[in-house]
Amino acid sequence: MVVVSSIALTAGIVSAATEHNVTTSLGGVAGDFFDIDGVVKVDSLVVGQQSIGGVTFFNGTIVNSTTDATGADNPVTFGDNVRIDGRIYRGATAGTADSMPFIVNDNMEVSGNLAVNGDITLASNQTLNVADTTITGLSTDDLSDGSTLTNSDAVATLTADWVNTAYPWAANEIADATRVVPMSLSDFYTDADNAPADITTLTTPSLGYKASQGLFLQYIEDDTTDFGGQLIVPQDYASGGAFKMAVDTSGALVTDWNVDWQVAISETAGTAAWSTSMANEAAVDVPDNAGTPDILTFTPTSQTDISAGDVLFFNFWPDSNTAAGEPNVEIYSVWFEYTATQ
């Protein structure tokens, strides 16, 4: 054991430090242990040598028993980098079985990876900032907020209410919706593609009425005169424009009944131009389902040419209704249906 005396400055006199080999003085040799039954007080303690180091055995607890001017405990202070080759834990027992968690009373930075074999819990109203950070290995099964989330370029399925008041949805974040443009039967004209005239109870088609079913346009066997009208495509139009018709028959079909039709699409956006002809479309069969309203769908061949603001001129007429005894066809409603953006 070597004891080194420090340099003392007293009344301007400098006293050089001296070194005393306590081991030799006590008759010991290098490597001997000295037991002291009591307390050793020193101003400083040097253990080991440069490039060699040494080992300090603390078979117990390190405590700073001093206080500051207010009486608060002073902490044990490490004035250099600290290397720990074992595990750090709090309390008498290592592990998570006790109720004494390891506490860090300050901000913490980790220069490296952080592996956690357990849960990470944030206190209420705290923020987890992961800006410009990639999170890997997270699946929808790991979420417990009542929703199922996938990549930002895929569909997300919600299984609970999602209240988004802080950041309202943008127009392109809302699913497209199906919209209709209803048309009154009184909006149509008979012989619309030739000599248009109002439809009455005496025209072809004729205007009829049934209690609890309402008004309808009626065609009888061998009728061929068309009816039609026009509309402006709504400004929220996105795609899928088609005409639809609710029909019924006065009895069972004998051979066949179908409705033929044509449409002209006049563009008003971009290069505005009137259509120069009506496009003949495929006829649609009337179902043999007397007494039940059936919906017929008339999809234009040039559906992709339809845009918001376009003028659509259309007309419908009976086809293949010449068999003897064919029932009347009753048209209760006509409308334009499309997919709208929001």
Say which CATH number the domain at 299 has. Answer: 2.60.120.260
Give the C-alpha separation, 232 to 308, whole Å.
8
Q: Is the model's pTM score more than 0.75?
A: no
185 inside domain = yes
Reported as a single tens digit per residue, the pLDDT across 196-249 is 999 999 999 999 999 999 999 999 999 999 999 999 999 999 999 999 999 999
Domain assignment of residue 293, yes or no: yes
- Examine residue 240 and state whether it is found in any structural domain, yes or no: yes
Question: For residue 256, is it within any domain?
Answer: yes
Place of tokens 């179908």: 258
With pLDDT > 90 as the criterion, what percentage of the chain qualifies?
46
**Residue 16 near residue 7 (C-beta atoms within 8 A):** yes
Is there a domain that residue 188 lies in? yes
Residue 162 lies in a domain: no
Task: Report the mean per-residue pLDDT for the chain.
Answer: 86
Provide the residue range defining the domain that includes 296: 178-340
Is residue 243 domain-resident?
A: yes
Whose structure tokens read 């109002």? Answer: 198
Cα–Cα dist 84/220, whole Å = 98
Q: How far is CA 215 from CA 200, 218, 230, in A?
A: 11, 10, 20
Segments of 73-124 assigned E as strands: none
Any residues with CB less than 8 A from the CB of 320 and at least 6 apart, and which?
255, 256, 257, 258, 283
Q: Cβ neighbours of residue 64 under 8 Å, at least 6 residues apart?
A: 73, 74, 75, 76, 77
| CB-based contact 301:262 (threshold 8 Å) | no
Assigned domain for 10 exists: no
Looking at the 3D structure of the chain, how many domains does it have?
1
